[in-house]
Amino acid sequence: MKVFLMYPDRDFDPKQKFPPPERAARQYHRSKKFDPNRDLPPTEAAAVQDLELETLFVAMAQGDEFLYDMAVPAVLSSLTAPDAILYRQQILQDCLRQPDIVRQIYNIPIQFSERKRRHLWSTWSRASSPGAILTSARDILEMSLDLLRTLKQLADDHAAEFESPGFGRFFEMLQQELDNDYLAVVEHHLKALKFRSGVLLSAELGPGNEGANIVLRQPNPDDRFWLKRVLVQKLPTYSFSLHPRDDHGARALGDLREKGLNRVANAVAQSADHVDSFFNALRQELAFYIGCLNLAGQLAQLEEPIAFPQPAPANERHHSFTSLYDVALALTVQQKVVGNDVAAAGKGLVMITGANQGGKSTFLRSIGQAQLMMQCGMFVAAESFSANVCCGLFTHYKREEDASMENGKFNEEMGRMSAIIDAISPHALILFNESFAATNEREGSEIARQIVSALLEKQIKIFFVTHLYELARGFYDQQTANTLFLRAERETDGHRTFKLIEKEPLPTSYGPDLYHKVFETG
């Protein structure tokens, strides 16, 4: 049985993002803080920090460690095929329409996991012999039967209420593979495997008259009426009994029994592993959608809109949205925040300038968050959103100087830029925020101009927030069709609307506004 709720043709594997040794080494505080410096490559760790994705992960988890562990790789493992994104979107839309049913389904593998944990606590140390393996595997199958029946019943009752191809295939699989006759046969075999009447084995004499080809046999059923079984004389049989103190004889019979059970133990163990893998996959894949439901619920309480984006191929240049907002900011301040409208079809470079504290960095975060949310199959924080998919998302933000910097801010900036260049590929998206401003204006502008020009030549999409007027003006004077210029809006009285409008760059960021706001005495 395959779940296929994250991909149409394969299972979701969170370990692809975090290999087992790294996952095992991860440490969390009680508050579930994520440490990107330990968990991710440097470029992805920077994106988690710069886009404040920890807030998103915590909101999806709502205190559930497992949901958190699944949200991180699901969000960061971007899909690059629009069809794969739409596949998840359709499933998530079903989840939003039927949240109670989806949560019921999600609780089934949780119950199985808890039962298995209690069972293995007492049997794990004995699971080396065929008899112990058989007992443990049989118990796991037994504890799953009622859960499989519940899952099948949910499919029978609610399949017609789901519209996505993913859930349609999932429910059809349950109805075909878990029909009542099949489950009844499984239950009958599990009862037989308890061997309440003993174990029937056949064997041949091998070299040295030792037993060989020991095979477990199914006893012939005795269908006679009970009175007839009691009154009819039993046929003579060859038998023997062990003395209660014959330890060697008991061990010899035990060895024969274990050899006879070996093949059936392996077969039952494989079946138990299959059921175990199915429930694990179901829990892992539904965890992503449960996290999305948790996030959607919190945004609904804030009366913030969500929208399912329209993904375009990577080789196109498209970015259009209405009321796009910073989801991390909304979750932090717990109130509605200002959204922005932009139409950037055919634009490979978006240059963002304007007033200090006018919402430029917040806007840049919303761009990165929405791109990742779209490419993992989620909704985005906007009223509408469409963009081309990107083959990787990178951030290059200014850093405050601290003791960990060995060569100064500018050298540190260039080092991070070098790491990005080593990892980036065509049709990626990179977000710059006040980059290369640690040196003088002319030098910083020239370095930024050369880097941006080289990236554009390699078909890399760029959003650039900057106070370097010489840089912004230089690109504006070129009047290229693939560049869009946005400016943080400032009213005549200095008030910031936190809206970005399509305007040419200005040679001022209105720093005196902040000075008067902070130091005004009158």
Q: Can you tell me the distance from the alpha carbon of 463 to that of 89, in angstroms, rounded to the nearest whole number?
A: 26
Q: What is the 3-state secondary structure (H, E, C) of 70-106?
A: HHHHHHHCCCCCHHHHHHHHHHHHHHHHCHHHHHHHH
- The predicted model scores a pTM of 0.86
Asked if the structure places residue 447 within a domain, the reply is: yes
Give the C-alpha distances (Å, rounded to integers) separating 249 from 200, 240, 244, 255, 337. 18, 11, 10, 10, 80
Backbone angles phi, psi at 515, to 5 degrees: -60, -50
If asked whether residues 281 and 351 sit together in one domain, one would say no
If asked whether residues 189 and 324 sit together in one domain, one would say no
* Per-residue model confidence (pLDDT) at position 196: 73
If asked whether residues 34 and 161 sit together in one domain, one would say yes
* Per-residue model confidence (pLDDT) at position 403: 54
Under 8 Å between Cβ of 478 and 447: no
Asked if the structure places residue 512 within a domain, the reply is: yes
Those residues of the chain that have pLDDT short of 50 are 20-34, 36-38, 121-122, 124-126, 514-515, 521-522
* Per-residue model confidence (pLDDT) at position 216: 74
Domain boundary among 301, 320, 352: 301
Closest-CA residue to 387 (of 311, 464, 308) = 311
> Domain containing 66: what range?
14-193+273-301
Structure tokens at 188: 């009958």
* Per-residue model confidence (pLDDT) at position 20: 44
Domain boundary among 283, 301, 319: 301
pLDDT digits (tens, 9 = 90+) for 222-274: 666 666 666 666 667 677 777 788 777 777 777 777 776 777 888 888 888 99
Asked if the structure places residue 92 within a domain, the reply is: yes
Strand order in the sheet with 483-490: 393-397, 429-433, 461-465, 349-354, 483-490, 496-502
Q: Can you tell me the distance from the alpha carbon of 390 to that of 429, in angstroms, rounded to the nearest whole number?
A: 6
Domain boundary among 249, 283, 301: 301
* Per-residue model confidence (pLDDT) at position 345: 93
If asked whether residues 387 and 472 sit together in one domain, one would say yes
175: left (phi over 0), alpha (psi -120 to 50) or beta: alpha
* Per-residue model confidence (pLDDT) at position 122: 46
Structure tokens at 344: 């950037």
Asked if the structure places residue 217 within a domain, the reply is: no
If asked whether residues 497 and 359 sit together in one domain, one would say yes
Residue 479: CB atoms within 10 A of its CB come to 7
If asked whether residues 285 and 433 sit together in one domain, one would say no
Asked if the structure places residue 421 within a domain, the reply is: yes
* Per-residue model confidence (pLDDT) at position 49: 93
What single DSSP character describes residue 504? -
* Per-residue model confidence (pLDDT) at position 185: 87
Asked if the structure places residue 109 within a domain, the reply is: yes
CATH code (residue 403): 3.40.50.300
Cα 54 vs. chain centroid, distance in angstroms? 14
If asked whether residues 287 and 375 sit together in one domain, one would say no
Amino acid at 140: I
Q: Can you tell me the distance from the alpha carbon of 257 to that of 245, in angstroms, rounded to the nearest whole number?
A: 19
Asked if the structure places residue 266 within a domain, the reply is: no
Reported residue count of the chain is 522
If asked whether residues 404 and 510 sit together in one domain, one would say yes
If asked whether residues 296 and 325 sit together in one domain, one would say no
If asked whether residues 277 and 397 sit together in one domain, one would say no
Asked if the structure places residue 224 within a domain, the reply is: no
* Per-residue model confidence (pLDDT) at position 31: 44
If asked whether residues 296 and 317 sit together in one domain, one would say no
Number of domains present in the structure of the chain? 2
Q: Can you tell me the distance from the alpha carbon of 185 to that of 193, in angstroms, rounded to the nearest whole number?
A: 12
If asked whether residues 395 and 288 sit together in one domain, one would say no
